[in-house]
Structure 1
Amino acid sequence: MFLRTESLSQFIRFYPVVSVLILIHAIVFIATSLPGGLGNEILFTLAGINGLISEGEYYRLVTPIFAHADLFHVLFNTFSLVLFAPALERLLGSVQFIVVYMLAGIIANVATWVLQPPFYSSVGASGAIFGLFGLYAAIWLIYKQGAPMEIRQVMVPIIVISVVMTFFSSNINVTAHIAGLIAGIFIGLFIFQQRRRE
Structure 2
Amino acid sequence: MNAFFVAPGGAVLLLLAANSIGFLVSVALSGQLVIPADVLLRMGALHSGAFVAQEYWRAVSYGFLHANPGHLLGNMLALVLWGPHLERRVGFSNFLLIYLVSLIGGGVVTHETQPGPFLTVGASGAVSGLLAALFALFVLGESELDATFFLVNFGLNFALSTTVPNIDWRAHFGGFAAGFIVCALLDLSARLESVVLRCKFPEFAKANCYVALAFAGAAAWTIGGAPRDRTALIVAGGVILGFFTLVKIIDLLLSVRRGAAWAGVLLASLDAGLTLSAVKIWGGALPDVCKIQWPGPDEATRFVGSLCAHPVDMGFAGAGLAFVAALSMQRNSILRGARDAGGFVAASFVGERKRRRGRGL
Question: For residues 22 and 179 of structure 1, do their structure 2 counterparts lie closer, same or farther at Cα, with a shift above 3 Å needed?
Answer: same
Unmatched segments (≥5 aa) in structure 1:
none
TM-score of the pair, normalised by structure 2: 0.48
Equivalence for 2:181? 186
Bigger drift between 95-104 and 80-89 goes to 80-89
Q: C-alpha displacement at 1:83, in angstroms? A: 1.8
Equivalence for 2:75? 77
Q: C-alpha displacement at 1:91, in angstroms? A: 1.4
Equivalence for 1:166? 161
Rg comparison, structure with higher value: 2
Give the SS at the match of 1:81: helix
Bigger drift between 184-193 and 98-107 goes to 184-193
**Aligned mate of 1:22, from 13, 16, 19:** 16
Whether the aligned pair in 2 keeps the contact of 1:61 and 1:110 (CA below 8 Å) is yes
Q: C-alpha displacement at 1:153, in angstroms? A: 1.2
The residue correspondences of 1:96-107 to structure 2 (distance < 5 A) are 96-107=94-105
Question: For residues 147 and 36 of structure 1, do their structure 2 counterparts lie closer, same or farther at Cα, with a shift above 3 Å needed?
Answer: closer
Matched, 1:61 2:59: yes
Give the SS at the match of 1:33: helix
Equivalence for 1:156? 151
Whether the aligned pair in 2 keeps the contact of 1:31 and 1:42 (CA below 8 Å) is no
Q: How many aligned residue pairs are there?
A: 187
Within 2, Cα distance between the matches of 1:36 and 1:177? 27
Whether the aligned pair in 2 keeps the contact of 1:163 and 1:178 (CA below 8 Å) is no
**Aligned mate of 1:44, from 16, 29, 41:** 41
Matched, 1:138 2:136: yes
Equivalence for 1:33? 27
Equivalence for 1:119? 117
Whether the aligned pair in 2 keeps the contact of 1:51 and 1:118 (CA below 8 Å) is no
Whether the aligned pair in 2 keeps the contact of 1:100 and 1:187 (CA below 8 Å) is yes
Q: C-alpha displacement at 1:120, in angstroms? A: 1.1
Whether the aligned pair in 2 keeps the contact of 1:142 and 1:193 (CA below 8 Å) is no
Matched, 1:3 2:5: yes
Question: For residues 97 and 33 of structure 1, do their structure 2 counterparts lie closer, same or farther at Cα, with a shift above 3 Å needed?
Answer: same
Give the SS at the match of 2:95: helix
Unmatched segments (≥5 aa) in structure 2:
192-357
Question: For residues 28 and 164 of structure 1, do their structure 2 counterparts lie closer, same or farther at Cα, with a shift above 3 Å needed?
Answer: closer
Within 2, Cα distance between the matches of 1:132 and 1:36? 31
Whether the aligned pair in 2 keeps the contact of 1:88 and 1:97 (CA below 8 Å) is yes
Question: For residues 77 and 36 of structure 1, do their structure 2 counterparts lie closer, same or farther at Cα, with a shift above 3 Å needed?
Answer: closer
Q: C-alpha displacement at 1:174, in angstroms? A: 1.1
Higher relative contact order (CA 8 A, sep 6+): 1
Measured on the aligned residues, the alpha-carbon RMSD in Å equals: 2.3
Whether the aligned pair in 1 keeps the contact of 2:105 and 2:174 (CA below 8 Å) is yes
Within 2, Cα distance between the matches of 1:174 and 1:66? 17
TM-score of the pair, normalised by structure 1: 0.83
Residue type matched to 1:120 in 2?
F
Q: C-alpha displacement at 1:193, in angstroms? A: 4.6
Question: For residues 98 and 55 of structure 1, do their structure 2 counterparts lie closer, same or farther at Cα, with a shift above 3 Å needed?
Answer: same
Give the SS at the match of 2:54: coil
CA deviations over 1:120-144 (Å, ceiling 9, x no partner): 111000000000111111122121x
Give the SS at the match of 1:56: coil
